[in-house]
Structure 1
Amino acid sequence: MPRMENPRERAIGTASVLGRIGSLETRLAVTAAEIRAAQLIRYRVFVEEMGAELPAEAMRAGLDFDAFDEICDHLLVLDTSIEGEPVDQIVGTYRLLRQDVAERHSGFYSASEFDIEPLMARHPNKKFMELGRSCVLPAYRTKRTVELLWQGNWAYALRHGLDVMFGCGSLPGTFPEMHALALSFLYHNTLAKGEWSVSALEHLHRNMDLMPKEAINAKQALMALPPLIKGYLRLGAMIGDGAVVDRAFGTTDVLVVLPIESISGRYLNYYGADAQRFAC
């Protein structure tokens, strides 16, 4: 079973709400029980819905957990119209890991798939944040929920003075060739280059250049992309070179890199440069 103790075993005062739309609100988890509830949501989405195969201990517990949960912050979306305690109201979650925290512990999760060290070494004065384990219950996969997740990420980034967001974006299935259109579109149109270049680890690297650029219908390619990756691209994100097959989760992963300075101006205006668009 996951060990959620020490500071997380105690409530950390009153939860600070980062944003609210109607009955939905976003904030960080403040107790071990809330983190456990987020792990349950992840299990329901990744295992029960998507068929992921987690380690035996996690499968027995009915929770998606790993060692990173103890050092990450957990962004939550709650539906306050649901009766019960906050743990009963969690409908979506994101896992956030700051560079300073990662460096004091076991590094970043995505380093098991992508060679991110050279990227960070080229930007020694920038603070990186990894986003991961994003999931939302089916009934809440709406524009409002996505907006609140981004509101929470943006407010968190501002609070901690972060400069770059990155993380794995996943396409369903373990055969990259099934996503030839989407992966080729990403390769030809959004590839991170120069100072932002980053690649999949050599032994895991799967080619994304599966179709010539002139054969790609951009509209169809965008429709074939998962909403999360499409949302990153709208904000101004770039994609690393090479996909990685994650057999445990049954996905084909790409690395998304989003420097804060690259975020589209219209989105900064929408959420507010001070993250006050949906703030309470």
Structure 2
Amino acid sequence: MAIELLNREVIPETNQAPASAPVSGDVFGRIGTLETRLARSEREIDAAQAVRYRVFVEEMHATLSPDAMRRRRDVDAFDAICDHLLVVDNAIEGDIEDQIVGTYRLLRQEVALANNGFYSASEFDIEPLLARHPDKQFMELGRSCVLPDYRTKRTVELLWQGNWAYSLKHGMNAMFGCASFPGVSPEEHAMALSFLHHTVSTKGDWAVSALPELYRPMDLMPMEDVNTRKALSLLPPLIKGYLRLGAMVGDGAVIDHAFNTTDVLIVLPIASISDRYISHFGADAGRFAS
């Protein structure tokens, strides 16, 4: 699942994925006192898990394992194999635990396949998707969250600058991951889910579906009954932002009772990201790096 935090205009379509390029040091971007980079230590990962706990449990009422609830950390087995993208506010006095205001969890295909696979595979049947693209490298985005006071355009820009720079650095060809609607009743999101199903479903080589035993239909309304303007307004900001990049949505939703969400799978081939997005962040991921 992922907190819905993205709400900015980005883009549709280009024909080639940009070539891999180095970034400046280990900092992917800076805007004012904020910077985005990967976690450098177990201590910083622990701090990111504490931020996730504050958002997912205290704000969104997720239910974690007894140990995680006792420790007040959102933690699972995937944390050990993922890279943890951070947004840090250097203007905050104190230790790093106090300075981390946002995070994303990143998992490259080669790392996933050498360990426990992808987190999304617990909800969606992604193996056929990977098998149809043996020449491509995928990365999974997950556990995205930002503290309430920092849910601003510049924080989101830095998170995407970090994702973009990381994908270029590691030669990734596509991103995917779960994105969430609040609550566990898909019917409450009938218009938005139907809009996604009818307009941006994955097709052909990019087709992917929810696991059969978890599958919940998204085509809850015929397209002629869907008011496009209203449907767009009902989309969580993160999903709306992904669509502006050129993302597709897999077939079927999944109920995540632990996180109190209805999940869909976002699939974003990097070749689908438009030149305008690339020029905004820099073809070499360097616009905000220094």
- What TM-score do you get using the length of structure 1 for normalisation? 0.94
Please say if 1:54 is aligned against 2:25: no
Match of 1:255 in 2: 265
Unaligned segments of structure 2, at least 5 residues: 1-24
- Partner letter of residue 219 of structure 1? R
Work out which of the residue numbers 206, 211, 215 in structure 1 matches 2:216. Answer: 206
Cα shift at 1:87: 2.8
Equivalence map 1:146-157=2 (5 Å): 146-157=156-167
The CA RMSD measured in Å over matched residues stands at 1.1
Work out which of the residue numbers 64, 77, 82 in structure 2 matches 1:72. Answer: 82
Match of 2:239 in 1: 229
Please say if 1:190 is aligned against 2:200: yes
Cα shift at 1:85: 2.7
Query: 1:127, 1:241 → 2: CA distance?
Result: 22
SS in 2 for 1:33: helix
Please say if 1:24 is aligned against 2:37: no
Match of 1:116 in 2: 126
Aligned length: 267
Match of 2:190 in 1: 180
- Partner letter of residue 227 of structure 1? P
- What TM-score do you get using the length of structure 2 for normalisation? 0.91
- Partner letter of residue 128 of structure 2? P
SS in 1 for 2:284: coil
Query: 1:265, 1:235 → 2: CA distance?
Result: 10
Cα shift at 1:265: 2.1
SS in 2 for 1:205: coil
CA shift digits 1:130-186 (9 cap, x unpaired): 000000000000111111000000000000000010000000000000000110110
Cα shift at 1:272: 1.3
Q: Is the 8 A contact 1:34 1:87 kept in 2?
A: yes
Select the structure with the greater relative contact order (CA < 8 A; seq sep ≥ 6): 2
More displaced stretch, 86-95 vs 195-204 = 86-95
Query: 1:49, 1:68 → 2: CA distance?
Result: 22
Query: 1:129, 1:147 → 2: CA distance?
Result: 19
Match of 1:6 in 2: none
- Partner letter of residue 153 of structure 1? N
Please say if 1:94 is aligned against 2:94: no
SS in 2 for 1:230: helix
Match of 2:252 in 1: 242
Cα shift at 1:221: 1.1
Cα shift at 1:56: 0.8
Q: Is the 8 A contact 1:163 1:259 kept in 2?
A: yes
Query: 2:199, 2:288 → 1: CA distance?
Result: 32
- Structure 1 moving runs of 4+ over 6 Å: none
Q: Is the 8 A contact 1:234 1:264 kept in 2?
A: no
CA shift digits 1:35-89 (9 cap, x unpaired): 0000000000000000000011101110000010000000000111101233321
Query: 2:70, 2:234 → 1: CA distance?
Result: 34
- Partner letter of residue 26 of structure 1? T
Work out which of the residue numbers 200, 206, 219 in structure 1 matches 2:229. Answer: 219
SS in 2 for 1:254: strand
Please say if 1:269 is aligned against 2:279: yes
